Structure 1
């Protein structure tokens, strides 16, 4: 959905639409100390006749490394990678404890890692998780040779890169001693109605009355949307950039953005300017007026916090981003990620929850139309999209990948946990579920406001990382 945030390097947005907000290491973190490096990578790893090469961007940090030590790799995701992560986050503590080298590899087609001249549909076939995993395996093997790294490797990733981290251990168990998968959705699914189901549950943790007010606000909005004489009122109330009309896709885009204001705050609870308690305090406060007026205030605050003057609800605006094939365009990130949702993952966050807490306007057909509109050269059908999901789950195992030495970490407030592994799959494939935490919180360093459960989770991950490295280092 739109507000959901791109977390560069960790790739934690898993965004579908809207304003991209990059949560990077603090400005105080020195990024300039890490030189930008380039690795010659195959364009198509599966072309047995030979493939042209392209330059993939990466960085490394050997500050903690001692000869014979291990290497830790952070997997880049669906945003531009930030070298600041090479001396930021809890994984740097694990590196210090194990005298490990740190690597960060940017994902193909994102940031400056541009394998093709542009993103014409014919070139998008080279963008997939499968190609990305081959990139990682090839890169790691090469770095071991180039830097004479004889110790074991451990992979890290958050959100989509968290999925890649687990899948890398699945596909290349001999290359890794272990893998940390933080907030990684593993089960491909078109209709991801569970996402907003978790949003509902998360808001309920703040007390009664919040969801009820949001439901009432959305019901009122749907009624007013059906009355053309109310469109100007809604436009003014919710600060749309252009007046609302009866265009069905614009209407759904408008509602989607309003729900995104909510979903993004929940997903990144504690990392953005607003949190779920502030949202629900507003929604329960009758001094702000009727529920629709309270919901409008939440929208206004979200716009202000994102530096936006108005809500660009028109579907044509989003389509312009999706059809921008230039790597230099303003839509960098959207065309690539929507391609991956169409061809691999789905994860469309509909309002198909049985309780209808957030209305019913965001149906699966609306999201599926993105594929046809963005990549019109291809023949998209619901059946084709469903088959793509089946193929992905067949490839990787869905909720039940057969892996060893992998830890799956999720937070109860993070809506993406609904597509993740929440219980141990075996003695060496364990799950850590953290109550009250949001998306990828375990990847940050400890801070004074962290819950005991979150601090303990980081400690457990560190114990596992140390154990994997120690066991792999035994002759």
Structure 2
């Protein structure tokens, strides 16, 4: 959530090494809730984020929850935020809504999440927001420079440790507020949505239920979807404008053709107004591919990014002055805005968040995303697991574990596992979100519900309200609220029936 998105090219240069990981096709989209690089000023939020009622705390968190070596007893300060202004209190067992942070700063999450703020007053709930270890201000080893330095320090960054962090903090909060029997509902989006679902499965004694928004927890080697991320990118653009789709299809060979000319890279640099010289045609192709992916993943109203891009590409027929490359460049400008120059590396600039996420996607969150044969808008470049493993191993000195997520969380037979061992989970997906191909899209039982919407984008249901939100989105949010409300009602009935008192 804001799982704040930029397509993370794993060729990003680390702050501590000059080695770059070369992947095929060299991009793994980051699981952000909203775009940080592309802002559309016309998509005004109808909600203003008031942080005056938020209290910031730091929890003395264990570095390692699973071993008893001397280093495991080290601690770090993990940030969390509480909003208690609408909470009815422990005496009535009022619920707790807990947002589980993902690969971004908590500051970004507080500016993007609307579900807790919208429904906290209705449920008279205590609102909790927890920052993920190694992101924002929740840095082990005293600083980001130390924490993100190499595999020895990054080794404590994984989903199991993150879930244990959340468990420790939530139990601490229940003790702090003397609220033993207040039910907890965990909420997360994107990678955080995966964490929310996994938390309910791993810690059912702590979380009564989970809302997992846009959580691609089936996008792994053992449960790889038939159609991939870029298939949906292609599909959405083609449905928006077949003319736009055809132009983009033709543009890749044209970029390569121009690049092969004498001074070809200089010509491309001039056409795309790049801020610096190009190293190859792949610089432009990666840049454009990222723009199309971002436009689709976060395609929401009122101005709808895909429509804006395709309208710019389709606006004028090809002429000598307005050739194919000028038109695809116009599509990029429509999304990024007019600038004096365009940095083709703008999506791969190394930040603390991108460095931490690179480790996670090079260790256990290994999603086999590539340009497969179904992804007809792009040049063929399927994901190559062998190359991926070798690249990560060369960079960090340790190989990824692409099967570990499935082993640890046991979702190879998702329907059977959830039906037998799971309950009280909402999986929400917009089918126009490229990550929906790895989501749970069918109801498993009466208490494991899949809510899918045809035109929904990434984490749209739990994001802040926007001007012109469609009726289907309003209805989806209300349905999610009603389900959670029913879980809480049944839980409180159980308390009464069992005569359990505080």
**So what's the TM-score if we normalise by structure 1?**
0.85
Worse overlay, 38-47 or 352-361: 352-361
Give yes or no for contact 2:305–2:335 (8 Å, CA) kept in 1: no
Matched, 1:311 2:343: yes
Q: Aligned to 2:360, which of 320, 340, 358?
A: 340
Instruction: Please state whether the residue corresponding to 1:264 is helix, strand or coil.
Output: helix
Deviation at 1:203, TM superposition (A): 1.4
Encode CA deviations 1:195-232: one digit per residue, 9 max, x unaligned: 11001111123242221111011221122233443211
Matched, 1:393 2:424: no
Instruction: Please state whether the residue corresponding to 2:444 is helix, strand or coil.
Output: coil
Give yes or no for contact 1:254–1:313 (8 Å, CA) kept in 2: no
Q: Aligned to 2:270, which of 223, 228, 236?
A: 236
Change (3 A) 1:145 1:308: farther
Q: Aligned to 2:186, which of 142, 151, 155?
A: 155
Residue 426 of structure 1 corresponds to 445
Deviation at 1:86, TM superposition (A): 8.7
Residue 326 of structure 1 corresponds to none
Distance (Å, rounded) in 2 between the aligned partners of 1:448 and 1:398: 38
Structure 1: tracts of 5 or more residues without a match: 1-6, 322-330
Worse overlay, 390-399 or 454-463: 390-399
Residue 433 of structure 2 corresponds to 414
Worse overlay, 446-455 or 48-57: 446-455
Deviation at 1:37, TM superposition (A): 0.8
* Matches for 1:21-420 after TM superposition, within 5 Å: 21=37, 28-49=48-69, 50-67=72-89, 68-82=93-107, 85=110, 89-117=114-142, 118=146, 119-121=148-150, 122-149=152-179, 150-189=181-220, 194-246=228-280, 251-270=281-300, 275-287=305-317, 289-304=322-337, 309-313=341-345, 318=348, 321=350, 331-347=351-367, 349-360=369-380, 364=384, 368=388, 371-372=391-392, 376-380=395-399, 385=400, 388-398=401-411, 400=414, 402=418, 403-420=422-439
Distance (Å, rounded) in 2 between the aligned partners of 1:152 and 1:367: 46
Deviation at 1:136, TM superposition (A): 0.6
Distance (Å, rounded) in 2 between the aligned partners of 1:308 and 1:75: 39
Change (3 A) 1:263 1:234: same
Distance (Å, rounded) in 1 between the aligned partners of 2:116 and 2:335: 31
Instruction: Please state whether the residue corresponding to 1:104 is helix, strand or coil.
Output: strand
Instruction: Please state whether the residue corresponding to 2:55 is helix, strand or coil.
Output: coil
Worse overlay, 296-305 or 66-75: 296-305
Worse overlay, 400-409 or 98-107: 400-409
Deviation at 1:360, TM superposition (A): 2.7
Residue 324 of structure 1 corresponds to none
CA RMSD after TM alignment: 3.0
Encode CA deviations 1:220-279: one digit per residue, 9 max, x unaligned: 112223344321111111222222245xxxx43432121101110111112697611111
Instruction: Please state whether the residue corresponding to 1:60 is helix, strand or coil.
Output: strand
**So what's the TM-score if we normalise by structure 2?**
0.80
Give yes or no for contact 2:46–2:466 (8 Å, CA) kept in 1: no
Give yes or no for contact 1:188–1:345 (8 Å, CA) kept in 2: no
Distance (Å, rounded) in 2 between the aligned partners of 1:108 and 1:272: 35
Distance (Å, rounded) in 1 between the aligned partners of 2:207 and 2:410: 19
Deviation at 1:158, TM superposition (A): 0.9
Encode CA deviations 1:51-110: one digit per residue, 9 max, x unaligned: 211110011011111122010101111111128739961332322222110000000000
Distance (Å, rounded) in 2 between the aligned partners of 1:252 and 1:368: 18
Structure 2: tracts of 5 or more residues without a match: 13-34, 496-502
